[in-house]
Each structure stands twice: as C-alpha cells, then as structure tokens.
Amino acid sequence: MANPKAALIMGSDSDFDKVKGCITKLKEFGIDVEVNVISAHRTPEKAMEYAKTAENKGIEVIICAAGMAAHLGGVVAANTTLPVIGIPIESTFNGMDALLATVQMPPGIPVATVGLNNGTNAGILAAEMLALKYDYLKPMLKDARAEMAAGVEKKDAVIKEKAAAL
Ligand code: RP5
C-alpha cells in the first residue's frame, strides 16, 4: 500500500516557521505531505481548485494554516469532503482573529481546529484520522503517547527532588 498522503496549505510563506512542527510530525509518522502556499484571499481560484481536485490526487486529509482573517480552512472545507484541519496562526490580535475565523464554521462545513500555531497537534490529529485506514499508524500513535507519559514521569521525579530540596 502507498504511504498515506496529506496536504499542508499555508496562507503565506510568513506562516512557514510556525507550521514546521506539522511537517516534522507528519514525516515522523511516514505520511507524505504536499506543502503549498495558497491564499484564500490573494489566490482564491487556486484555493478552490486545489480543494476540489485534492481527493482525486490521492490526498486524504488537508491541513490549512492561516493568520489574520483566516478563511483558508473554511474555503478549502467548503470545496471538499476530505477532512480539513485548521491551524490558526498568531499574528494580529494575539491570534484571536485567526482562531475565531478558523473555528467558528457554520453548521455543515466543519474545520477541525487545533490551538494557535499548533502544527504538532495538527500533524498528530491527521495521523489519528489516517490510522483508521493505515493500521501501521496505530502502534506508532500508542508508542508516542507512552513516550510522552514517560517524559512526564521523569519531570515529576525531578520536580519532587527540587521541591524536597527547598
Ligand atoms: C494570512 O495573512 C496568512 O496566512 C498570514 O498569516 C497573514 C499575513 O500574510 P503576509 O502578509 O505575511 O503574506 O493570509
């Protein structure tokens, strides 16, 4: 079976540094990712066309990162029935503008919105969706959780030592 395939669209190249974690996470899970700069406002026809043709290109989930009046996730979701994950990017208004524009979709057109700049969670959520089809992802996701829990246990032990020494 071919690798799972995701698309990551950012509204501007200025978003790149904030979504690197998403690309890294997808690659860690062996998910192929097509990375694009497409703007809902500056290249609206391209945004619509990309969303309409993504499924036929084998893309299985689309992640959209945008700041300010962040309509990218909504425009893409309106033009495909593939699952769309939105990453609101913090630029103006401490990111509240992008957060609300991404999450507050009208009933019927969902955008699964992660936290501000949280490309990592977008990558993990995409992997969880794809795990419904690609069995190899299931143990990887469980291992990642176990590793995280072990990290918290280590931190717990360190903090207990620090607290005892006060
Ligand atoms: C949004 O406007 C982009 O996603 C970016 O977060 C923001 C600013 O874009 P630039 O002016 O930096 O290109 O559409």
Q: How much is the pTM?
A: 0.96
Ligand 1 atom nearest the C-alpha of 42 is 14
pLDDT digits (tens, 9 = 90+) for 31-51: 999 999 999 999 999 999 999
pLDDT in tens, 103-112: 999 999 999 9
Average of pLDDT values for 109-116?
98
Candidate from 14, 39, 46 with most ligand 1 atoms within 8 A of CB, to mutate: 14
For the cut 90, the answer to whether the pLDDT of residue 146 exceeds it is yes
Question: Using only C-alpha atoms, what is the Rg of the chain?
Answer: 18
Distance in Å, CA 12 to ligand 1 centroid: 5
What is residue 23's predicted lDDT score, i.e. its pLDDT? 98
| C-alpha–C-alpha distance, residues 65 and 143, integer Å | 27
Helix axis angle for 16-28 and 119-130, nearest 10°, is: 30
SS (HEC) of the chain: CCCCEEEEEECCHHHHHHHHHHHHHHHHCCCEEEEEECCCCCCHHHHHHHHHHHHHHCCCEEEEEEECCCCHHHHHHHCCCCCEEEEEECCCHHHHHHHHHHHCCCCCCCCEECCCCCHHHHHHHHHHHHCCCCCCHHHHHHHHHHHHHHHHHHHHHHHHHHHHCC
Please work out whether the CB of residue 9 comes within 6 Å of at least one atom of ligand 1.
Answer: no
To test the ligand 1 pocket, which listed residue (18, 36, 68, 96) has its Cβ within 8 A of the most ligand atoms?
68
Tell me the mean pLDDT in the region 119-141: 98
Amino acid at 90: E
Q: From the CA of 74, how far away is ligand 1's center (Å)? A: 16
At 1, the pLDDT band (50, 70, 90 cuts) reads confident
State in Å: Cα 14 to ligand 1 middle. Answer: 6
Tell me which residue has tokens 């020494």.
165
Cβ of residue 66 lying under 6 Å from some atom of ligand 1: yes
In this predicted structure, what is the pLDDT of residue 159? 98
On whether the CB atoms of residues 40 and 47 are closer than 8 A, the answer is yes
Residue 11 in contact with ligand 1 by CB distance below 6 A:
yes
Determine the atom of ligand 1 nearest the C-alpha atom of 14: 12
